Structure 1
Amino acid sequence: MSYSLILSGHYDRDPGLDKYLLALIHSDRGHVNQWSCTSSHVNGQKSGSQHVKGGLIPPTYHCKGLLQYAVDLTPLDLTHQAGVRGSFYKITPFEVLTINGTKRGDFGVHLDANAPGSLGCIVMDWHNFKDFESQMAHLRKAEEVKRVALHCFYS
């Protein structure tokens, strides 16, 4: 994979829902694009919440046997789902086991279409998500990219 998505943020430092950055990086061309996003909800962004259902998407080193996440660039149509209301870019694997023994999963990248935040998915406002969708469609159609590696980092 010549592209990678990097989710970067910090554990709960600010009052309310903290924002993160999702950056698209190419191995030869460098930083291609970035979007403001978040993961989890106002009470799920603390250190350790990656081990709790609904908390931050856990980084790979907090999971048993997980080397890498990937984002599938063929979106699922979840317009019927209240928190999504549109395209859902599935993050694989479907389920992971954290080093604390918690099963987490069903992660994706989608529009933040309901109450602010998510249950671990990476969510964006309408402006950022439309740009993300456009970029993913370009990669899928023009460059025939099927999936992009995802790396999650919190400080």
Structure 2
Amino acid sequence: MQLIFTMGLIVASELLYGNLQLIYPDGKPIDYLATSGCADWQRPGDEWARGKGPIPEGDYEIPTDPYWLETRGIEGFFFHITPDPVISDKGVRAELGIHFDANVPGTAGCIGLINESGWRGFCDRMAAIAESGVKSIPLKVRYP
């Protein structure tokens, strides 16, 4: 089981969208429309812009059991991405997660699912995976 987030990083003033894919052990994928970062902050190199840019490319883990956050823009379940913080010679990013993209479109670096029905489906699938005994799932972030 794994998650893969992909999104093209380009110079654009509008919010860009990507794909979060949940892949089951049998190879069956489930796709979710998602974004990471804020409009006009989704260019190559913006991954290290704290509070604005998309999540840095890399390999992560997410728990199958979320916790609740009242933080504006999240206001609900939050799947905390580790390692936390993410450190490189280009910067530090911290407190990243997967959540529903509430309020103003875009995220401060998290992966935000766009459609409420897709978000509910994602949460239901993660709950079923947690009930099966799986505690965490690998997450790959790639910018083709």
Scaled by the length of structure 1, what TM-score is found?
0.86
Compute the displacement of 1:52 (Å): 1.6
Aligned match of 1:153: 142
5+ residue gaps, structure 2: none
SS at match of 1:123: strand
Q: Conserved in 1, the CA contact under 8 Å of 2:62 and 2:81? A: yes
Kindly report which structure 2 residues correspond to 1:45-84, keeping only aligned pairs within 5 A, or say none: 45-53=42-50, 54-60=52-58, 68-78=59-69, 80-84=70-74
Among 85, 88, 113, the residue aligned to 2:78: 88
Aligned match of 1:40: 37
Compute the displacement of 1:99 (Å): 3.2
SS at match of 2:81: strand
CA distance in 2, matches of 1:30, 1:40: 29
Segments of 4+ moved more than 6 angstroms: none
Q: Conserved in 2, the CA contact under 8 Å of 1:71 and 1:91? A: yes
Number of equivalenced pairs: 142
Q: Structure 1 stretch 12-21 or stretch 119-128: which is displaced more?
A: 12-21
CA distance in 2, matches of 1:96, 1:39: 15
Among 104, 127, 142, the residue aligned to 1:137: 127
User: AA paired with 2:103?
Assistant: N
User: AA paired with 1:71?
Assistant: I
User: AA paired with 2:102?
Assistant: A
CA distance in 2, matches of 1:30, 1:99: 36
Distance change (3 Å), C-alpha of 1:38 and 1:29: same
Compute the displacement of 1:15 (Å): 4.8
SS at match of 1:70: strand
CA distance in 1, matches of 2:11, 2:117: 25
Scaled by the length of structure 2, what TM-score is found?
0.92
Q: Structure 1 stretch 42-51 or stretch 7-16: which is displaced more?
A: 7-16
Compute the displacement of 1:14 (Å): 5.3
Q: Is 2:17 the counterpart of 1:19?
A: yes
Q: Conserved in 1, the CA contact under 8 Å of 2:65 and 2:79? A: yes
Q: Conserved in 1, the CA contact under 8 Å of 2:12 and 2:40? A: no
Aligned match of 1:8: 6
Compute the displacement of 1:98 (Å): 2.4
User: AA paired with 1:132?
Assistant: F
SS at match of 1:5: strand
Compute the displacement of 1:12 (Å): 2.3
Once the two structures are aligned, what percentage of the paired residues are identical?
30
